[in-house]
Chains A and B, each alone.
Chain A
Amino acid sequence: MPDSPRLDPGLSRRRFMSLSGQSLLALGATAVAAQLIPVTLLADEALPELPAGLLRMGRDIYPHDRLNDLHYAKPLAELLAKQPELIADGLGQLQASAAQRHGQSFEALAVESDRVALLRAIETGPFFRAVRSALMFGLYDNPALFPLFGYEGSSVEKGGYLARGYNDLDWL
């Protein structure tokens, strides 16, 4: 689909789509869609100080390719501030195994399955679990990202869905 000529060329029409490919405007979420533009533009915002290996690991745990790094970096930076030792030690060990097995840093491994194999080996440990849990909340319990997943969040202040599509399904 060609980009709408009236849109800023930097803002592809894709950005008005949820991750499942549904138009956010069709969701009735015009205000939300408008909000999404700055969310996407946050790409230009400086990322918090974060080891590159940790960000790479976060992106491999919940890989949503169209989500900006910033959404991963924020919860990871919070985790790092909260549990610096656990994270530093865990990441140190991950880097050591990457070096041992591939002679490279974790983030430099180009093949996703190589990284995933290293992570699978530590998935039951406290370091991995802490990172996974921080991202579970950071990505999926984050109202700013709800619309991208086609979720609308709190509804009581809008009068519920009685008049807003609770039974609008018509494709059966």
Chain B
Amino acid sequence: MAAKFAQDDGDVVVIIGSGAGGGTLANALAKQGIRSVVLEAGKRYQMKDLENDEWAMFNKISWLDKRIATGGWDVAQNHPNLPAWIVKAVGGSSVHWAGVALRFRDFEFRMRSENGAIAGANLLDWPLSYEELEPWYVKAEKHMGVTGPSTGMPYHQWHNSFKVLAEGAKRVGYQEIQSGPMAINTQAYDGRPGCLQIGFCMQGCRIGAKWSTLYTDIPRAEASGHCEVRPQSMALRIEHDARGRVNAVVYADAQGRQQRQRARVVCVAGNSIESPRLLLNSESATFSDGLANSSGQVGRNYMTHTTAGIYATLPKPVHMYRGTTCAGIISDESYNDPARGFVGGYRLEVLSLGLPFMSAFLDPTPQGWGRAFASKMERYDHMSGVWLCGEDLPMEGNRITLHASEKDQYGLPVPVVHKDDHAFDVAMREHGVAQTRKCYEAVGASEVIRLPSYPASHNMGTNRMSARAADGVVNKWGQSHDIPNLFVSDGSQFTTSGGQNPTLTIVALALRQAEHIGTLLNQRAL
């Protein structure tokens, strides 16, 4: 039964955010008997609330509080108040995510050593190696139910859109062509059913075949009796004591009243815009630049992955919307080969959009209307498409800051999300688009359409890990360099983005962090 903890119980771990990072952490702590209160800004929905309707789900669960996008990335132009596509609900973005569950490659933990300093980039090695994380990847894969060797679950059958892409990829000589790994069951696993190829993975899996903390970690943590989840509880600031240890979180409840939960440990997992924003908003006389920010790196090095959407019109119908949204990955470019004119690698991931989203993303620029647009939409059923997911270089100026005057409904300064492309990001994007074009042309595509970037679904780097306190915000356990009982438990810890979808790594890090917190608590080191 779900526990209920007193607000003055100063012995609990307070976790901010119930998504991939926070939800996983709560459950992993609960398994060790460690008590936690999860503060979640969004509402709690049930599986039955997940609809096969793109806009209905977007409007229901997205984070729509005001944000401002600035900088040279095309998102600032096309979606000036929606820099990122993130969920505000119990389960966080693990409700919307598509389930691609890739590990980082070994070189991706040491991009600085592999490539040296790169002008304009704030490149740094992770304080962590692939070998250290590998066992946690295996645990994460078993935990989430990822197709492939760790679980023994077969990969998905290839659906129509992937058949088209894969055939094109073969014809241009690509070899690493696989419909996974996906955190989507292909058979019953862990009390959840196999995928029915419903095709609305990014609207929330109505049957729970796809892993989400909404219907796995969160209810299980609650059932343990060691966890209390408080929906509609927006953390406003983290407080600390005279020694500079965090000791409470002030939050706004559903009625907008301020509440204060005491804490022994605080773990921040609000995703890479809200997590640094909260630390910056928690400035105090002792920490005048915000919490955990002696390095000045809180909010900096914002990364989204180098991305592009590429859709091809094929000679015959494809019906890309039938079946999983994303189960199809081409990995031949997922290596560090600077001869291509950029560092790091990328993957090509099949991505279907329904008709409503296609109309919104095909060309969101002011010019996106008229005959040319309409005739593309008339070929919707002949389309197949790809999303490019590649290394995005950390740049100090790409950052989250607080707006000087504009406030949100909680009275907090609105976050400004600034991003410019590095020249290597541009080069990688061009390369990826050209390669995808070749694949689709090899199967007879009459037109290959390049879409501007969608609002960022992958957000990383704004509280990065570093070996030295001067270079980043947290150590290799996600623990603040400055404040030992403050942790970061989401993708904002990433030192570099890798060319891999982030969530498997977020979950692996959260499982590992939970064990570390347990050890430290046992040693009374926290």
Contacts and interface: CB of A to CB of B under 8 A. Distances in A.
Given A152-B321, A169-B160, A172-B167, A22 B206 contact: no
B323 A161 contact: yes
B317 interface: yes
B159 A141 contact: no
A141 B359 contact: yes
B378 A20 contact: yes
Given A60-B370, A156-B200, A141 B323 contact: no
Contacts of B382: 20, 150
Interface in A66-120: 116
Interface in A135-172: 136-137, 139-141, 146, 149-156, 159-162, 164-169, 171-172
Contacts of A140: 355-356, 358-359, 377
Contacts, number: 128
Interface string B340-363: 000000000000001110111000
A132 B360 CA distance: 11
A114 B358 CA distance: 28
Contacts of B356: 137, 140-141
Interface residues of B, number: 48
A39 to B, nearest CB: 16
Interface stretch (B51-59, B490-498, B504-512): B51-59
A18 B163 CA distance: 23
A53 B382 CA distance: 33
A20 B383 CA distance: 11
Interface string A5-45: 00000000000001110100000000000000000000000
A167 B198 contact: no
Contact of B164 (A22, A116, A169): A169
Interface centre among A22, A124, A156 (most CB of B within 10 A): A156
Contacts of B160: 165-169
Contacts of A168: 160
A63 B53 CA distance: 25
Contact of B355 (A64, A124, A146, A155): A146
B369 A20 contact: no
A164 B198 CA distance: 10
Interface of B: 51-55, 157-160, 163-164, 167, 195-200, 206-207, 315-319, 321-323, 354-356, 358-360, 366-367, 369-371, 373-374, 377-382, 443
Interface of A: 18-20, 22, 60-64, 116, 123-124, 129, 132, 136-137, 139-141, 146, 149-156, 159-162, 164-169, 171-172
9 contacts: A116-B370, A123-B366, A137-B55, A150-B381, A151-B321, A152-B322, A153-B354, A161-B196, A162-B197
